[in-house]
Amino acid sequence: AVASSPPRWEIGLYAAGALALLGIAAINLWKLWRSGSYPAPSPFPNYDYRYLEQKYGAACPDVRNKRGLAPGSQRAPGRSSSSRKSSLRAEDALESIQELGSLELMGRDLGLAHYGPLRKSISADSLNSISSIGNNFGQDFTVGQVEVSMEYDARAAALHVTLLQGKDLLEKEDARFESCFMRVSLLPAEQIVGISRIQRSAYSVAFDERFSVPLDPAALEENSLRFSVFGVDEDERSVSTGVAELKLSDLDLAARPFSAWLYLQDTNKAVDTVGEILLSLSYLPTAERLTVVVVKAKNLVWSNGKVTADPFVKVYLLQDGRKISKKKTAVKRGDINPVFNEAMIFSVPAIVLQ
């Protein structure tokens, strides 16, 4: 047998194909380099700084460069790829953990020493795993949201409550109501603090109404506020459709004002209490890290008639309703009053903290 060389045109065809593939790879690498995502990653894992810049404007480049990673810059020598992680893990560098201070000191500052040593929680497998909670996060039992702010005037011994705005205060499928209003009450005496003006639109409401009620400082530890939304039907009858309650003792109004969006529970869909959970939140501006400490739970009630169960806690970090990160505690076997005392650490840019 005689071995013959392939014709030159065939060799040229293979060479041209190889050059074309190399050219395509080079173009894609160049595009990645120009986009700023290679070789320098976004300083905040799971947050695309280009999305942040589009959403929040010119302030975002300051966030992007906070850790000294400008577009196209080389990664610092010795810096591990852990900067891409959504939060600290056990194998993270020691300096990354020390950036927050030791967990022992944190537990001491939070008054958690009697619960035992504070530990780091583990990251859950996937944001889309079967065991993950649904995207509604309990919204089957809620009807709309209302933004409120509160402050306590110690000199006048008065509590000031402001209804800022609301959205989706009535079910869109419920055509009984032509308008709505909100009522603020002080519990347990059910003293009416204020009633808002009637709003014709229940889906995007600007209240901007302020109410005040005399209140002794001691009453801040005993009273609660109830925010109720009422639908008004064609016969001008008012029907309670949603409610939210806040314990004033949880807000520390004597030290600082309070402002938040509240979910209004649907009064037509009762939710049985299944227990309580004690949490602690803190934010370290210098490292831009959010820490959630899951301290303990108590009086847990098992569902579906179970006699015993193995509780654990999952914490989701969301932005604009989208899951950013997820962590979970250890499992406590058959304990209705479990003590977790675990810290969950998330990287969160200051610009999106609110």
Residues 145-155: pLDDT tens digits?
Answer: 889 999 999 89
Of residues 138 and 90, which shows the higher confidence score?
138
> What pLDDT is attached to residue 265?
84
> What pLDDT is attached to residue 153?
92
> What pLDDT is attached to residue 152?
93
Which range, of 3-17, 113-127, 205-219, averages the lowest pLDDT?
A: 113-127
> What pLDDT is attached to residue 63?
54
Q: Report how far apart, in Å, the C-alpha atoms of 316 and of each of 144, 174, 281 are.
A: 20, 31, 13
CATH 2.60.40.150 in the chain, residues? 142-266, 276-352
> What pLDDT is attached to residue 194?
93
> What pLDDT is attached to residue 141?
60
Average pLDDT of span 130-142: 48
Check whether 134 has a pLDDT greater than 90.
no
Instruction: Give the CATH architecture of domain 276-352.
Output: Sandwich (2.60)
Check whether 314 has a pLDDT greater than 80.
yes
Q: Looking at the chain, how many residues does it have?
A: 354
> What pLDDT is attached to residue 127?
59
> What pLDDT is attached to residue 67?
44
> What pLDDT is attached to residue 1?
57
Calpha distance 334→218 (Å, rounded): 39
Q: Are strands 339-347 and 119-120 parallel, antiparallel or unpaired?
A: parallel
> What pLDDT is attached to residue 305?
75
Which of the listed ranges 98-107, 158-167, 225-234, 272-281 does the model predict with the highest average pLDDT? 158-167
Nearest to 207, CA basis, from 248, 238, 163, 265: 163
Check whether 87 has a pLDDT greater than 80.
no
| Percentage, residues of the chain above pLDDT 90 | 20
Check whether 22 has a pLDDT greater than 90.
yes
Confidence bin at 40 (pLDDT 50/70/90)? very low
Average pLDDT of span 196-204: 83
Of residues 113 and 252, which shows the higher confidence score?
252
Instruction: Give the CATH architecture of domain 142-266.
Output: Sandwich (2.60)
> How much is the mean pLDDT over the chain?
76
Check whether 61 has a pLDDT greater than 70.
no
